[in-house]
Amino acid sequence: MKLGLIIISAIFINNFVLSQFLGICPFLGVSKKIDTAVGMSIAVTFVMGLASVICWAVQIFVLDPMGIGYMQTIAFILVIAGLVQFVEMVVKKTSPTLYQALGIYLPLITTNCAVLGVAILNIDKSYNLIESLINGVGAGLGFSLAIVLFAGVRERLELAPIPKALEGFPIAMIAASLFSIAFLGFSGLFSGLL
Amino acid sequence: MFNSIGLPVIVLGGMAVFFGIVLAYASKKFAVEVNPKVTEIRDVLPGANCGGCGFAGCDALAEAIASGNAPISQCPVGGSELAAKLAVIMGVEAGSEERQVARVICCGDSNNAAEKYEYQGIKDCKAAEMLAGGSKSCRYGCTGLGTCVRECPFDAIHIVNGIAVVDEEKCTACKKCIAVCPKGIIELVPVSKKVRVLCRNQDKGKATMQACKIGCIACQKCVKACKFDAIKVENNVARIDYSKCVNCMMCAEVCPTKTIYANFADRKKAFIIEDKCIGCTICSKNCNFEAIEGELKGKHKVLDDKCVGCGQCFAKCPKDAIEMK
């Protein structure tokens, strides 16, 4: 039951992009086409799930016993960057097709705040290993949902009659804010349960 | 002291070294052999991963260029400088051919071509094309909605008075505008060729004249005026064969509708340097316009009012005694 709540919460209620405002950079940068948005979201989901597990292990088995839990941020960045590089190499060697699909997006998200954010939130909420994994994957799915939907909106914006001053980026920001307000509707969904 | 500074340094340093070793090992163990050209190309690309080329970052573009799927001029950031470097890597001869520029073959601007209806659809030439060939009275001409302008990564094409105009300084001949133009009225032309036919209307003369104030009526006068067989009328419209055109501008001079455009101020004149001239008469024999006179073994002279600057004498003179200015 709790796992279900965690995943629903990560996707809708505490959506990383639209409620917690993490990972805004790729959200706006890679959302011009649905194709690229899908590639990016697969890579993010993958890395978030992986980073959640590894960072949880680093926190519990390395940082906490040493009493240096406050070095979390630096340690996690280090872990995530190293991990993504490693995964990229392995994927490139073992599955060229997957590498083609993830392509440039893997290295782009090494220092993404959403990935770091999910790792730190897992520790803050004192999740166990499974819960961390679920939260990581859920957060990734939430990111995917937001970016793919937004890419669809932006593709339509290209063809819409938009006042000259708002063309391009400004209208994307306005659309993103409306999106975010819409997602606020999910808040309080589980207030009695969580 | 040790606990607050030393321990974190050692632990994080240790982690960093551990990851370093793992990555170093992985880079050997999982090394994938790539085309060395890809690496070379990747090194000269700007590396900003801006996506301006339409590929997912510089790596993807490097691969596409190396495999021949993208032209060396694809990167809009590096421009022509980068293209020259890539030409060396790819073994393509970038410098040997003359620079080409895109030109819009239409002069149906707001003054010349009337609107047959008021177009209120999305600002896109392809969309307008589907509505009875666009709002302009001529269905062959530029719709002026700027699909090419938005496509151009070099800011080299603009809508001026209702038609697209190429800025030849900025144009890199990337052909993107040619690919998107639904009318097919943009073509690549060597930059030195100054004479242009500004019409693609394939209707008969009368219909053309009704559609646009300036338009080729296929009268054949230019064909007769051209002494180099460089202009032909096909499908009721004149076309210049730029491999034969020598910029003599005779066609533009005789064109009754002024559809053939040439800037007569750019017209050069031949000029004989008397000290070098040996009177071989080769120049006067090669002149199609009887603009050079002079006796055998005597100094030759160019008749300014007859010379049209075609440069034939300049090319043929064995003593380099002719200048074009």
DSSP states of B115-169 as a string? Answer: BSS---S-S-HHHHHHTTT-SBS-TTS---S-HHHHH-TTS-EEEETTEEEE-TT
- For position A140, what pLDDT does the model report? 93
Average pLDDT value for chain A? 86
pTM listed for this prediction: 0.52
B12 neighbourhood in chain A, CB within 8 Å: 71, 74-75, 78
Considering only the beta carbons, identify the residue of B12, B26, B122 that sits closest to A86: B26
Query: How far away is chain B from the Cα of A16, in angstroms, using its nearest Cα?
Result: 24
Q: Which helix (H) or strand (E) holds B323?
A: strand B322-324
Of the candidates A46, A50, A23, A32, the one whose C-alpha atom is nearest the C-alpha of residue A148 is A32
E strand map for B19-110: 100-104
- Residues A188-194, mean pLDDT to the nearest whole number: 64
Instruction: Indicate yes or no: CB of B15 within 8 angstroms of CB of A75.
Output: yes
- At residue B94 the predicted structure's pLDDT band, cuts being 50, 70 and 90, is low
- Distance between CA A38 and CA A23 in Å, rounded? 15
Q: Helix, strand or coil for residue B102?
A: strand
| pLDDT value of position A129 | 92
What is the reported pLDDT for B72? 81
**What local confidence, expressed as pLDDT, does residue B93 receive?**
63
On chain B, the residues whose CB falls within 8 A of the CB of A104 are 49, 56-57, 59-60
A80 pLDDT higher than 70:
yes
The number of CA neighbours under 13 Å toward the Cβ of A82 is 22
DSSP state for residue B299 in the 8-state scheme: P
A112-146 burial: b if 16+ Cβ within 10 Å, else e: bbbbbbbbbbbbeeebeeebbbbbbbbbbbbbbbb
Q: In this structure, what is the dihedral angle of CA atoms B186, B190, B191, B196, given to the nearest 10 degrees?
A: -60
Q: Is A194 exposed, middle or buried (0-12, 13-18, 19+ CB in 10 A)?
A: exposed
Chain segment B11-28, per-residue pLDDT in tens = 889 989 999 999 999 888
Tokens matching residue A159: 């063809």
> B162 versus B74: which is more confidently predicted?
B162
As a whole number of angstroms, the distance between CA B211 and CA B207 comes to: 6
Phi, psi angle pair for A79, to nearest 5°: -60, -45
Distance from CA of A90 to the nearest CA of B (A): 6
Whether residue B122 and residue A159 make contact (CB cut-off 8 A), yes or no, is yes
* Inter-chain CB pairs, A–B, below 8 Å: 60
Measured distance CA(B20)–CA(A111) in Å, rounded: 17
Contact of B188 with B71, CB cutoff 8 Å: no
Tell which wins on pLDDT, B165 or B92. Answer: B165
Distance between CA atoms of residues A143 and B116, nearest Å: 49
How does B67-89 read in b/e, with b if 16+ C-beta sit within 10 Å?
eeebbbbbbbebeeebbebbbeb
Q: Confidence class of residue A145 from pLDDT cuts 50, 70 and 90? A: very high
Query: Tell me, what amino acid is at B94?
Result: A
Measured CA angle at A189 (ends A173, A181), to 5 deg? 15
| Strand B270-272, strand B322-324: pairing | antiparallel
Residues of chain A contacting residue B11, judged by C-beta atoms under 8 Å apart: 62-63, 66, 68, 71, 75
d(CA B299, CA B316): 16
Higher pLDDT, B49 or B148: B148
Confidence band for A19, pLDDT divided at 50, 70 and 90: confident
| Contact by Cβ (8 Å): B65, B89 | no
User: Which pLDDT value is given to residue B21?
Assistant: 93
Chain B residue numbers touching A103 (CB-CB < 8 A): 56-57, 59-60
State the pLDDT at residue A104: 67
Cβ within 8 Å of residue B264, ≥6 positions away: B249, B252, B253
The one-letter code for the residue type at A22 is L
Alpha-carbon distance of B75 to B71, in angstroms, equals: 9
**A71 CB within 8 Å of a chain B CB:** yes
Residue type, B55: F
Q: Locate A78 and state its tokens.
A: 């280090």
Of the candidates A23, A186, A54, the one whose C-alpha atom is nearest the C-alpha of residue A122 is A54
| Interface predicted TM-score (ipTM) of this complex, two decimals | 0.76
Local confidence band at B114 (pLDDT 50, 70, 90 cut-offs): confident
Region of poorest pLDDT, from A74-83, B44-53, B117-126, B164-173: B44-53
Structure tokens of B217? 């009526």
pLDDT of B286 > 70? The answer is yes
CA distance to partner chain A, nearest, from residue B64 (Å):
13
The pLDDT score that the predictor gives to residue A103 is 65
Residue A141's pLDDT band, with cuts at 50, 70 and 90, is very high
Which tokens belong to B80? 């022509």
Q: How confident is the model at residue A133 (pLDDT cuts 50, 70, 90)?
A: very high
In the numeric block, which tokens belong to residue B243? Answer: 């491999």
- A104 close to B (CB below 8 A): yes
H/E stretch holding A6 reads: helix A2-8
Query: Rounded CA gap, A143 and A149, in Å?
Result: 10
Q: How confident is the model at residue A136 (pLDDT cuts 50, 70, 90)?
A: very high
Q: How confident is the model at residue B96 (pLDDT cuts 50, 70, 90)?
A: very low
Of the partner residues A82, A104, A161, the one whose CB lies closest to the CB of residue B57: A104
Q: What is the pLDDT of residues B216-249, one digit of tens each?
A: 998 889 999 888 888 988 888 888 988 888 888 8
Residues of B in contact with A68 (CB under 8 A): 7-8, 11
A86 at B interface, C-beta within 8 A? yes
Nearest residue in B to A102, CA atom: B56
Q: What is the dihedral of CA B12, B13, B14, B18, to 10 degrees?
A: 100
* CA distance linking residue B64 with residue B302, whole number of Å: 54
